[in-house]
């Protein structure tokens, strides 16, 4: 198979690379010549999948790194792909809602100028195609007058398209000839996730750029289709209790503990055909939870002490159950530790709802008990908890999952998504390995371009490359024949 060569800049955990390597058309495909990344754990992931010789670890703003990329790739690369991190473009997080000093710090974040170095490498290497990916917020972001690329304020996306055209690339789209960029939703390309990204495809052949073909316009892929067969995971519970925040639980002690016990018992029916649910380890856990729950109702000491004893026993019974499958998943399919209050909130929430709904009294899913449990500042944070629905795609998987996963609550199990589930929702192939500890894996997965979205982009480019080269070959053949 003939393979066009690709340079992946800001490669992260390799979502773009993985997608491009899936592409095949008329005996042609793609090969990643080099992948460039600064994060150590992400580099180890890339080395595992691509080979150590193909990974350049370092900061592309450094002259020696930039020169190595140029030396390794100039005259050898057909396509450059990449999404320069631009922190203030994001529609989520502190760039939009944080404290004033945090927003100012983000404004001056050096990562917001990495696109300049992206263009420097494009100029030096001169690939036939360039793919620029970024968050949807880049459409409304304006560059300041002091920016080197322009003398006045302009919308960032237009500046970037102008810059590519200044380097000799054609950015306009086939069937949409007034447009130079696309907003693609990963859910339209077989990814079980609502994730919108801005994509610019540019070429040096003066051709209108093909649009990636949607494959799931009628019914998006649901979470259920990609994670329902995975082993059941239960969270270890923290024994630390904040008395102030736990007062409502202690006030409704039997109700809280009872809901947790019901949730654990419910797994036995919902997942009854799965091996781990039929195991002796799960039976022992269920037996403990039920028997200890009865004793809690007859407690002879304080509620706080009783709860800690219950949690301690639960954690002990949980260990052998977790060990049943833990070794089979190099990308973590284990839960982070949760506190008891959060697990109760997870258990009471309905699928497809969030905390902004259950704390609002005019909402059809308002819940007075959940309202009393909600621990966060309501003037700033309303949708802290989001429980997903099995029958629908996920919300956008974010790298913020490395800090907490409260916006990614599992539809059935009382916990947040594991890294392995997040990777499946991002459309990484089953068994795809991410290196590093759990939080490092969350970061790589959340920052990745979904491979199935990348595959569709790669297919659009490969079809153009194959067509262009076939016409060039035919023309050269005609010239040879005439001579």
The residues assigned a catalytic role are 86
Q: Report whether 221 contacts 190 (CB < 8 A).
A: yes
Distance CA 373, CA 355 (A): 11
Runs of H (alpha helix) within 173-279: 224-227, 243-251, 253-270
Q: Which two tokens mark 264?
A: 């654990």
Q: What is the b/e burial string over 433-465, where b = at least 16 CB atoms within 10 angstroms of the residue's CB? A: bbbbebbbbbbbbbbbbbbbbbbbbbbbbbbbb
Q: Which two tokens mark 290?
A: 């039920």
C-alpha 178: how far from its chain's center? 31
Closest CA to 88 of 103, 77, 68: 103
Q: Which two tokens mark 44?
A: 């180890």
Distance CA 424, CA 432 (A): 9
CB atoms within 10 A of CB 325: 17
Runs of H (alpha helix) within 114-206: 114-125, 156-166
Helix (H, G, I), strand (E, B) or coil at 307: helix
Distance CA 55, CA 269 (A): 47
Distances from the Cα of 366 to the Cα of 370, 385, 435, angstroms: 8, 14, 41
Task: Tell which phi-psi region holds residue 416, choosing left (phi > 0), alpha (psi between -120 and 50) or beta.
Answer: beta
Torsion of CA 305, 306, 311, 314, to 10 degrees: 140
| DSSP state letters, 78-127 | SEEEE----GGG-SSSHHHHS-HHHHHHHHT-GGGGHHHHHHHHHHHH--
Strands 196-203 and 182-185 turn out to be: antiparallel
C-alpha 433: how far from its chain's center? 15
- The secondary structure of residue 74, as a DSSP letter, is T
Residue that the structure tokens 């450094």 belong to: 62
- The secondary structure of residue 298, as a DSSP letter, is T
Distance CA 129, CA 408 (A): 36
């Amino acid at each position: 198979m003939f393979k066009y060569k690709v340079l992946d800049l800001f490669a992260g955990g390799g979502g773009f690379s993985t997608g491009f390597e899936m592409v095949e058309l008329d005996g042609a495909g793609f090969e990643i010549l080099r992948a460039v990344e600064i994060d150590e754990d992400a580099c180890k992931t890339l080395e595992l999948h691509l080979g150590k010789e193909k990974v350049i670890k370092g900061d592309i703003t450094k002259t020696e790194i930039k020169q190595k990329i140029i030396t390794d790739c100039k005259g050898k690369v057909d396509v450059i792909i990449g999404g320069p991190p631009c922190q203030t473009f994001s529609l989520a997080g502190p760039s939009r809602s944080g404290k004033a000093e945090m927003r100012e710090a983000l404004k001056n974040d050096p990562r917001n100028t990495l696109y300049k170095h992206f263009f420097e490498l494009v100029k030096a290497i001169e690939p036939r195609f360039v793919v620029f990916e970024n968050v949807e917020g880049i459409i409304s972001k304006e560059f300041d007058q002091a920016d080197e690329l322009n003398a006045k304020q302009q919308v960032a996306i237009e500046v970037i398209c102008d810059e590519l055209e200044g380097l000799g690339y054609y950015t306009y789209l086939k069937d949409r000839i007034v447009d130079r960029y696309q907003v693609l939703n990963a859910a339209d390309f077989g990814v079980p996730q609502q994730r919108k990204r801005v994509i610019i495809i540019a070429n040096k052949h003066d051709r209108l750029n093909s649009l990636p073909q949607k494959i799931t316009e009628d019914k998006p892929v649901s979470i259920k289709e990609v994670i329902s067969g995975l082993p059941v995971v239960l969270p270890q519970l923290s024994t630390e209790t904040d008395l102030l925040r736990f007062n409502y639980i202690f006030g409704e002690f039997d109700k809280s503990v009872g809901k947790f016990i019901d949730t654990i018992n419910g797994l036995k029916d919902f997942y009854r055909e799965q091996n781990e649910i039929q195991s002796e380890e799960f039976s022992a856990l269920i037996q403990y939870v039920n028997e200890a729950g009865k004793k809690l109702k007859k407690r002879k000491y304080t509620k706080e002490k009783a709860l800690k004893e219950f949690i301690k026993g639960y954690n002990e019974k949980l260990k052998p159950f977790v060990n049943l499958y833990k070794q089979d998943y190099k990308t973590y399919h284990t839960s982070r530790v949760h506190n008891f209050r959060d697990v109760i909130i997870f258990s009471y929430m309905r699928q497809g709802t969030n905390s902004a709904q259950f704390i609002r009294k005019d909402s059809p899913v308002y819940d007075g008990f959940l309202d009393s449990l909600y621990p966060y500042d309501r003037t700033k944070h309303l949708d802290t908890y989001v429980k997903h629905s099995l029958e629908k795609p996920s919300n956008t998987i974010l790298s913020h999952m490395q800090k907490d996963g409260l916006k990614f609550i599992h539809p059935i199990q009382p916990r947040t998504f594991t890294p392995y589930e997040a990777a499946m929702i991002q459309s990484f192939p089953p068994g795809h390995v991410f290196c590093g500890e759990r939080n490092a894996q969350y970061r790589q997965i959340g920052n990745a371009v979904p491979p199935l979205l990348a595959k569709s982009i790669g297919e659009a480019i490969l079809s153009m490359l194959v067509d262009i080269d076939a016409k060039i070959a035919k023309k050269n053949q005609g010239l040879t024949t005439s001579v």
